[in-house]
Amino acid sequence: MISKKTEESIQKGSAIRAMFTEGKAMAERYGAENVYDYSLGNPAVPAPEKLKGVIADLVKETDPLELHGYMNNAGFPDVRETIAADLNRRFKTSYDWAHIVMTVGAAGGLNVALKTILDPGDEVIVFAPYFGEYKNYVANWDGALIEVAPDLLTFQPNLSVLKEKITPKTKAVIINTPNNPTGVVYSEETLTRLGEILTEAEKRVGHAICLLSDEPYRELVYDGAAQTFPAKNYKDTIVCYSFSKSLSLPGERIGYLAVSPEIEDGERLLEGLTQSNRVLGFVNAPSLMQKAVAQCLSEKTELAFYDHNRKCLLESLTLYGFTCVKPEGAFYLWMKVPGAPEEQTVSAEAEQAFVDRAKAERLLLVKGSAFGCTGYVRIAYCVSPEMIERSLPSFQALAKETCR
């Protein structure tokens, strides 16, 4: 019954989801408190308290035919207006309501954007390590995913390699800052240079190259760092935003696309995005959630909660002998699999052996290969601080076995 393409996709599976399922099975076997599941980016901080009241008031006071009914496929105009105004205030941009398309999370938004711009065979460039689902999203529209190898010293996007990878088939470049899986925040210098390279490349290839800026972690930055907004450095940008992490609403599936006002062929593009939202079967983003998030744009998640976890893990794991990239944002720690000198990495087999050893200590870590960067593991620290405390002896035992 099922297609070859879906069969292939099932075979490839998702390392993260597989870990998550394995974690559940291990929890039954050993008891939930004895399994340390760092696999999934599922926030342990609840949604802001205000949201409950907002939802209750919306249900009580709004005409149900409006609140639960169909609307424009791009979303409620008043919600889009509120989001545009909020972006303009925070980032000195000039969006209006028509530039915002409400989506079913960032995953929905990325698929809507890719469907709208890709013809089969078109190339989409990503910087390793990257969110592994990009591979599936690009494959959905028969695009070709082109990887740029990582800069293992900084984990900033490798821009000199980017230049070489751009061809007349390049339709889009995806970036993600703060980054999943490294926790790195792309510097202003990187973003400025990226904008210059893409502007130059558009002239060379003779068509627009769309920058898809995937920003579910935009507000999760530490040490008082400023939030960046890559769209300011390049006019042909579509921002893919999600409330999954910033308001801890991953199950509600709500986000938006923000299309730069000066983008090439903007009106037609917005028509296309709206059309794609419809024909993909999303039809529109969840109506109640659209109205609810519009009233919670100034709400903040508990950054201090994640920051505590970040510091505790970074300090402890470094002390035990592991090498980690200091996270500047998001809620992931990127740790090197021991056994290779600086600027080199262990093989895929050694990486898998390390993940298996971690599992024997009941630590669930996701292998770097799942993000296109072998020789590392990702530790999602959006978990309870108590779990982190309980897991430290296991990390220590793992270090004793593997760090020499």
Ligand X SMILES: Cc1ncc(COP(=O)(O)O)c(C=O)c1O
User: Phi and psi at residue 183, in whole multiples of 5°?
Assistant: 80, 0
Selected from 82, 111, 228, 242, the binder of ligand X by CB under 6 A is: 242
Selected from 84, 102, 106, 173, the binder of ligand X by CB under 6 A is: 106
217-246 burial string, b = 16+ CB within 10 Å, else e?
bbbbbbeeeebbbbbbbbbbbbbbbbbbbb
Per DSSP (E only), the strands in 19-156 are: 36-37, 100-103, 123-127, 144-148
3-state secondary structure 136-179: HHHHHCCCEEEEECCCCCCCCCCHHHHHHHCCCCEEEEEECCCC
Per DSSP (E only), the strands in 215-272 are: 237-242, 255-259
Shortest Cβ 286–ligand X spacing (Å): 12
Taking the least distance from each CB to ligand X, the nearer of 26 and 106 is 106
Number of residues that bind ligand X (CB under 6 A): 13
Taking the least distance from each CB to ligand X, the nearer of 179 and 402 is 179
Decide: helix, strand or coil at residue 303: helix
Spatial strand order in the sheet of 255-259: 100-103, 255-259, 237-242, 210-214, 170-175, 123-127, 144-148
CA 51 to CA 57: how far, in whole Å?
Answer: 10
How many CB atoms within 10 Å of residue 61?
8
Query: Applying CB under 6 A, does 252 fall inside the site for ligand X?
Result: no
By rule CB under 6 A, what string of x and - marks binding of each residue 164-203 to ligand X? ------------x---x-----------------------
By rule CB under 6 A, what string of x and - marks binding of each residue 32-61 to ligand X? ---------x--------------------
By rule CB under 6 A, what string of x and - marks binding of each residue 286-325 to ligand X? ----------------------------------------
Longest Cα–Cα distance in the chain: 66
Query: Applying CB under 6 A, does 334 fall inside the site for ligand X?
Result: no
By rule CB under 6 A, what string of x and - marks binding of each residue 213-232 to ligand X? -x-x----------------
User: Phi and psi at residue 360, in whole multiples of 5°?
Assistant: -65, -25
Shortest Cβ 374–ligand X spacing (Å): 19
Q: Which stretch binds ligand X (CB under 6 A): 17-25, 104-112, 307-315, 360-368?
A: 104-112
Q: Which stretch binds ligand X (CB under 6 A): 103-111, 183-191, 260-268, 357-365?
A: 103-111
Single out the residue of 190, 187, 144, 151 nearest to residue 167, CA to CA: 144
Shortest Cβ 251–ligand X spacing (Å): 9
Query: Applying CB under 6 A, does 255 fall inside the site for ligand X?
Result: yes
CA 256 to CA 253: how far, in whole Å?
Answer: 10
Shortest Cβ 60–ligand X spacing (Å): 28
Q: Which stretch binds ligand X (CB under 6 A): 68-76, 143-151, 242-250, 302-310?
A: 242-250
Shortest Cβ 104–ligand X spacing (Å): 7
The dihedral over CA atoms of 62, 68, 74, 80, expressed in degrees to the nearest 10, equals 20
Query: Applying CB under 6 A, does 127 fall inside the site for ligand X?
Result: no
8 A C-beta contact, residue 240 and residue 255: yes
CA 29 to CA 367: how far, in whole Å?
Answer: 23
Shortest Cβ 108–ligand X spacing (Å): 6
By rule CB under 6 A, what string of x and - marks binding of each residue 340-379 to ligand X? ----------------------------------------
Query: Applying CB under 6 A, does 257 fall inside the site for ligand X?
Result: no
Taking the least distance from each CB to ligand X, the nearer of 12 and 207 is 12
Tokens of 273: 């995005």
Q: Which stretch binds ligand X (CB under 6 A): 99-107, 162-170, 290-298, 304-312?
A: 99-107
Shortest Cβ 76–ligand X spacing (Å): 19
User: Phi and psi at residue 240, in whole multiples of 5°?
Assistant: -110, 110
Q: Which residues pair with 130 in a beta bridge?
A: none
Taking the least distance from each CB to ligand X, the nearer of 202 and 214 is 214
Shortest Cβ 267–ligand X spacing (Å): 26
Q: Which residues bind ligand X (CB under 6 A)?
A: 41, 105-107, 131, 176, 180, 214, 216, 242, 244, 250, 255
